A and B are shown apart, each in its own frame.
Chain A
Amino acid sequence: MSPLSNLRMSEPLFSNSFLARTLRRRSFFRVVGATVATSTLVLAGCNDDNDPTPTSSTPSLTLGSGDNGLLNYAYLLEQLEAAFYQKVVDAFPSDFTAEDKAAFVDLRDHEVIHREFFRYALGTNAYDSAGTSLTFDFSSFTLTTRAGVYAAARTLEDTGVAAYNGAAKLITDVTSLRLLAKIASVEARHAAFVRDQAQPGSFAATDVITASGDAAGLDTAKTPLEVVELIAKFVPATIVASSLPTI
């Protein structure tokens, strides 16, 4: 277990106390480049059904403002996706084929690289630079069957595509915009692939690509606030996105 598990649950998630910082830094170095799942979150217990007051101890995850806020938002999405694929790779469904497994190792690797890239690029501006990685909650998915895993992947990848499409116009720095676009199309490739595996030929079906009207032929775009609402159930913290740019 991580030394973090010794911290009391009432401890704020991103405490700046010297003790917390020291412990988390040690944890940070241990998990860098490895998996999110190895780091135990202080508040894992908050999701415990027996906990009578889950809200009072739910920590806040503040994404910040401006381009840094948006990069933290992208970083959180990549953490989420990487954690998902890692969880699948750690325990493949019994009906996964060798091809499925190989693809998921690729997908895991891409998302881990995205996550680590953002972590590195953000440096001390990363929302979790104090060292604690989140343990995401995927209990709403069925990860024991091939169909369940691909359906889950479809949800996450489509959300990722919509998130990048919606965030682009909010970014002011041209280099950051270029980087988001480089990642956005990879997420779209992932989305098309997992959709086709979930249901053949659904790579660009009408639930994601508008079929008619003025927006015909366009992929989904969602604002950060819309995306935060969609991913809230996976994140064991209250995501505070209110300072992110909206225009």
Chain B
Amino acid sequence: MNTVSPFVLLSALLFTLGVIGVLTRRNAILIFMSIELMLNSANLAFVAFAHQWGQLDGQMFVFFVMAVAAAEVAVGLALIVTIFRSKKSTNVDDLSQLKG
């Protein structure tokens, strides 16, 4: 246990907060922000481990995650805007037409 750095603990805490946000929030924007929180907690873990093991791989990966996250934000926000235009709502519970 003594090898676990405070950064990793922080990362786990942020990830848990993100998960709880995704599962409890109904507003699509807030869910989205929670997902970003989870992504960044993962980034933090990458950096923390990279620092711990003295390797650059993790740090490099963070840039990839950031790039993908940026692209995802663009697509995701566009989707939310479109949904809002047609539904007049960003409540994800309203989007349940595909239920069995």
User: A and B: partners?
Assistant: no
B-side residues, CB < 8 A to A, are: none
